[in-house]
Amino acid sequence: MSRLMLRLRSIVEKSGKIGVSPYATFTQKDFLYEDHSHSGTLINRFAKSIAYENSREAKIVRNSIKYSNFYPVHDQQKFFQELQKVETDQLARLLMFTANYRGNADIGKIFKVINQLDNEVDRRIGEMEYRDVQELMFMFLYLLPNKVTQLDAIRNGVQKLLDGFPQNDTKDNFLQICFYLGLFKKSRKESEQLKAFLGMHLSKFIRDLDTLQIALVANSAFKAAVTIPDKEFHQRLTTEILEMDQDIDIQLLVTFVKSLRHNRVDCGDVLDKVQHFLRNRSIPNADLRGYAHLLALFVENLVTGVGCVSPVGVSVETAWKNILSGHCGVVKLTDPAFDKLPCRVAAQIPKDDFDISKIFTKSELKSMSPAIAYSLIATKEALSQSQWLPMEIKEQNRTGVAVGIGMVDLVDICEAYDALQKGYNRVSPFFVPRILPNMAAGQISIKYGFRGPNHSVSTACATGAHAIGDGFRFIQRNEADVMVCGAGEASISPLSFAGFCRLRALSTSFNDDPQSASRPFDEKRDGFVMGEGAAIFVLEELEHAKCRNAPILGEILGYGCSGDAAHLTSPREDGLGAFLAMQRALEDAQLKPEDVGYINAHATSTPIGDAIESRAIIRLFGHHASKLAVSSTKGAHGHLLGSAGNLEALFALLACRHGQFPPTVNLNSISEDMKSVNYIAKASQSWPDGKRRVAVKNAFGFGGTNASLCIAEFKD
């Protein structure tokens, strides 16, 4: 064994770490967290225990830092020449000395040293002994805990460890390989390697693994989205949970539960244990996040009711039928106030059989804007389908509302200003309640007596999706059993049109052919068409829904949100914000990109936005982007602004439920840079048989706010 390993073993033994092998340090509970920098204590103690000042390795590192940023060519060459003189089995010592300088030198300079070392290690990886590779990978992990997987030497080192494992098949080496493969998370190659590795070797070591070692394997598999079919492993996880006492670390418990849920193992006994555990233990502030995560792992969010008021129908049944048939709700605006505006088309709610004055009294209409009225109508339909009109105080206390409005009705503001010119007492006392964005949620809560979370969202065109996501979180965190979620919007007015026209956001080329104006992903798209309406979801916790035999329409699996941090009204050109929102939704749902069969895109029919979203889809889904179905229903109903994400989430839900992909109306010719995506154009298509039907719904708004929902058919 090399001098490095002997010293490391000595320190491990003296520091009281688990086991005597340096690689047993990988089993510490700290490795269950994302930050692995705790290993620095071990390395620093080791580094300081060796008289290194006069060693050649230390001089190389000191000189490399001293030579600033390596801009002079001769300095860089000098460092590289010295590096090549270092014996292969001493490269780890060189890394260790670099580590000792990490806290005292410019990290940019150190990173250049590491890159050069990475290149040198990668070049020599084939000639290294198994133990040398282990030493080097351990040092790299300390130096760059959050970027270690970007190093070529690590990827090739993992392959070297895998190839050499049959001759080095110890428990410690098994754990180390599991740990490193888990670092790559959902990288396809490493995920497949971990799945194969566990399938071949887990059964040999399962009985010798202690609690923390079991946790390491479970966490690595979870991060890599690898399912473990080994029933003995699942039994060990269950037993470990059931035997835990009140002093167990919360993160360890979360790790075990995550693994059981990910592997679709029956968690009935575990749930009882965890609930008992939570009831009988005070929650320190430091552990609140862990407890929230733990609760979320046990909660399944079902959709038990939906309702809508939209340009393609004032009920869910009508709207879905029209969406599948390719019906378009865009019309020409006849109000003379729009005549001088560049855009004169909109997607309006059909007024033939819909009149809110026949639904609400004059007194009620005084206190509510049209957006609030639409939200109340959609809520009534959703609650009726859900069969949820609780009368008991306990049930009302556990029912909440998360409904938003993207932007207030500017007609109200204009009329109030005109009234003010005649005197302040001519301004309606209901003016403020009509324009507050939280009043849709407030009116719903008041009407039905819901005293759970009363929450409102106003995040531009992501409002409705954020509202559903927030409602999803409220149930996950056990703050409610039922949440009424969604948004309403009624912003069609000359002033709002003028503002959006000044932004060059609205379509202006199809005023004489309104039904051709909204054309997501099409080459001739020139801006969005404004729409109006509302859509409401009733979300409900699984056991609560089952106890009352509620209708189950589908399930919300995950929710992700992000910020572009780029521009007031335009998304980032590289689509990073959209990419992160989708990625986080999938991670929240514990799914891989290839598990998704359909994306209901945000695509509003703008030249820039549609292309950027396509870019983000290609970036996240890779080759799978050409297989999954992508459509935007905005071609039929226009862009409902704050109520877009929730209405389109409704159509994504129905697509999962009925196995039909809704079409993208007016998509006749796809731009060249977007042809690698499988768009559903013109006519609806059937969802292929096979895997569980899973969809992603995107919604993005001004200010760079992004939301993605992961929606699926329900499978008991």
Q: What is the CATH number of the domain that holds 322?
A: 3.40.47.10
Running DSSP on this structure, what letter comes out for residue 662? Answer: P
Distance of alpha carbon 645 from alpha carbon 698, whole angstroms: 7
The residues, ordered by sequence, that sit 6+ positions from 100 with a Cβ below 8 Å of its Cβ are 44, 47, 48, 52
- Range with lowest mean pLDDT among 12-16, 182-186, 556-560, 647-651: 12-16
- 538 with 660, same domain: the answer is yes
What pLDDT score was predicted for residue 254? 73
For 25, the token pair is 């340090």
447 falls within a domain = yes
Are the C-beta atoms of 412 and 405 separated by less than 8 Å?
A: no
Parallel, antiparallel, or unpaired: how do β-strands 598-600 and 694-701 relate? parallel
Looking at 137, 172, 188, which one is the last position of a domain? 188
What is the DSSP annotation of 74-88?
Answer: HHHHHHHHHHHHS-G
Are the C-beta atoms of 481 and 390 separated by less than 8 Å?
A: no
Q: Does the pLDDT value for residue 521 go beyond 80? A: yes
pLDDT bracket for residue 352 (50, 70, 90):
confident
615 falls within a domain = yes
Are the C-beta atoms of 634 and 644 separated by less than 8 Å?
A: yes
What pLDDT score was predicted for residue 351? 84
Higher pLDDT, 167 or 109: 167
For residue 433, how far is the Cα from the chain centroid?
34
Residues of the chain above pLDDT 70, percent: 75
Angle between helices 576-589 and 607-621 (to 10 degrees): 40
Parallel, antiparallel, or unpaired: how do β-strands 454-455 and 685-686 relate? unpaired
Distance of alpha carbon 94 from alpha carbon 84, whole angstroms: 12
Q: What is the mean pLDDT of residues 69-84?
A: 45
578 falls within a domain = yes
Q: What is the mean pLDDT of residues 105-119?
A: 58
* Average pLDDT score, the chain: 82
Are the C-beta atoms of 23 and 134 separated by less than 8 Å?
A: yes
For 280, the token pair is 């009988």
For 45, the token pair is 């103690």
Q: What is the mean pLDDT of residues 89-101?
A: 53
Q: Does the pLDDT value for residue 472 go beyond 70? A: yes
What pLDDT score was predicted for residue 232? 84
What pLDDT score was predicted for residue 131? 78
Sign of CA dihedral 456, 461, 465, 469: negative
- 184 with 306, same domain: the answer is no
Query: How many domains does the chain fold into?
Result: 2
Quick: pLDDT tens for 628-687.
999 999 999 999 999 999 999 999 999 999 999 999 999 999 987 788 899 999 899 999
What pLDDT score was predicted for residue 693? 97
Phi/psi of residue 552, nearest 5 degrees: -115, 115
What pLDDT score was predicted for residue 40? 36
Distance of alpha carbon 642 from alpha carbon 406, whole angstroms: 4
Q: What is the mean pLDDT of residues 126-138?
A: 75
The residues, ordered by sequence, that sit 6+ positions from 396 with a Cβ below 8 Å of its Cβ are 390, 448, 449, 450, 451, 452
**Residues with catalytic function:** 461, 602, 639
The conformational region for residue 527 under phi > 0 = left, psi -120 to 50 = alpha, else beta, is left
Domain span at residue 349? Answer: 302-712
Distance of alpha carbon 577 from alpha carbon 704, whole angstroms: 7
Nearest Cα residue to 60 out of 91, 104, 103: 91
Nearest Cα residue to 226 out of 269, 258, 271: 258
Quick: pLDDT tens for 318-346.
999 999 999 999 999 999 999 999 999 99
195 falls within a domain = no
Q: Which amino acid is at 509?
A: S
Looking at 168, 188, 208, which one is the last position of a domain? 188
- Measured CA distances, 89 to 14, 124, 133, 392, 572 (Å): 25, 10, 9, 73, 46
Nearest Cα residue to 536 out of 348, 314, 325: 314
Are the C-beta atoms of 708 and 616 separated by less than 8 Å?
A: no
Phi/psi of residue 414, nearest 5 degrees: -60, -45
What pLDDT score was predicted for residue 538? 99
Q: Does the pLDDT value for residue 152 go beyond 80? A: no
Quick: pLDDT tens for 256-273.
777 776 666 666 666 666
Distance of alpha carbon 168 from alpha carbon 175, whole angstroms: 12
Q: What is the mean pLDDT of residues 140-157?
A: 71
For 643, the token pair is 């109520």
243 falls within a domain = no
226 falls within a domain = no
Distance of alpha carbon 302 from alpha carbon 294, whole angstroms: 18
Distance of alpha carbon 142 from alpha carbon 134, whole angstroms: 13
Parallel, antiparallel, or unpaired: how do β-strands 554-563 and 301-309 relate? antiparallel
Q: What is the mean pLDDT of residues 53-67?
A: 44
What pLDDT score was predicted for residue 564? 94
- 182 with 331, same domain: the answer is no
What pLDDT score was predicted for residue 293? 59
Sign of CA dihedral 274, 276, 277, 283: positive
80 falls within a domain = yes
Quick: pLDDT tens for 363-411.
999 999 999 999 999 999 999 999 999 999 999 999 999 999 999 999 9
Q: Does the pLDDT value for residue 83 go beyond 80? A: no
pLDDT bracket for residue 144 (50, 70, 90):
low
pLDDT bracket for residue 226 (50, 70, 90):
confident
Residues of the chain above pLDDT 90, percent: 54
Quick: pLDDT tens for 681-716.
989 999 998 889 999 999 999 999 999 999 999 987
Quick: pLDDT tens for 280-312.
555 554 455 555 556 666 678 899 999 999 999
H or E segment at 541? strand 533-541
Q: Does the pLDDT value for residue 212 go beyond 50? A: yes
Quick: pLDDT tens for 412-467.
999 999 999 999 999 999 999 999 999 999 999 999 999 999 999 999 999 999 99
- Range with lowest mean pLDDT among 47-61, 190-204, 315-329, 627-641: 47-61
Q: What's the angle, vertex CA 466, arms to CA 461 and CA 471, rounded to 5?
A: 150
Are the C-beta atoms of 149 and 155 separated by less than 8 Å?
A: yes
pLDDT bracket for residue 21 (50, 70, 90):
very low
Phi/psi of residue 709, nearest 5 degrees: -115, 140
For 518, the token pair is 């909204």
Distance of alpha carbon 383 from alpha carbon 539, whole angstroms: 10
Query: Which residue pairs, CB below 8 angstroms and at least 24 apart, start in 65-69?
Result: 65/101, 65/105, 65/106, 65/109, 65/110, 65/113, 68/109, 69/108, 69/109, 69/112
Distance of alpha carbon 314 from alpha carbon 373, whole angstroms: 13
Q: How many CB atoms lie within 10 A of CB 495?
A: 13
Distance of alpha carbon 162 from alpha carbon 142, whole angstroms: 21
pLDDT bracket for residue 37 (50, 70, 90):
very low
What pLDDT score was predicted for residue 222? 81
Q: What is the mean pLDDT of residues 196-208?
A: 90
For 401, the token pair is 């509302």
For 177, the token pair is 């390989």
Residue 280 buriedness (CB in 10 A; 0-12 / 13-18 / 19+): exposed
Q: What's the angle, vertex CA 81, arms to CA 76 and CA 87, rounded to 5?
A: 130
Are the C-beta atoms of 674 and 493 separated by less than 8 Å?
A: no
What pLDDT score was predicted for residue 534? 98
Q: Which amino acid is at 56?
A: R
Higher pLDDT, 504 or 80: 504
- Find the distance separating the first CA and the last CA of the chain, reported in whole Å: 54
Q: Does the pLDDT value for residue 581 go beyond 70? A: yes
**pTM for the whole thing?**
0.70
Distance of alpha carbon 103 from alpha carbon 142, whole angstroms: 12
292 falls within a domain = no
Q: Does the pLDDT value for residue 519 go beyond 90? A: yes
Looking at 165, 188, 211, which one is the last position of a domain? 188
The residues, ordered by sequence, that sit 6+ positions from 659 with a Cβ below 8 Å of its Cβ are 686, 687, 693
For 81, the token pair is 């020449």
Phi/psi of residue 560, nearest 5 degrees: -135, 145
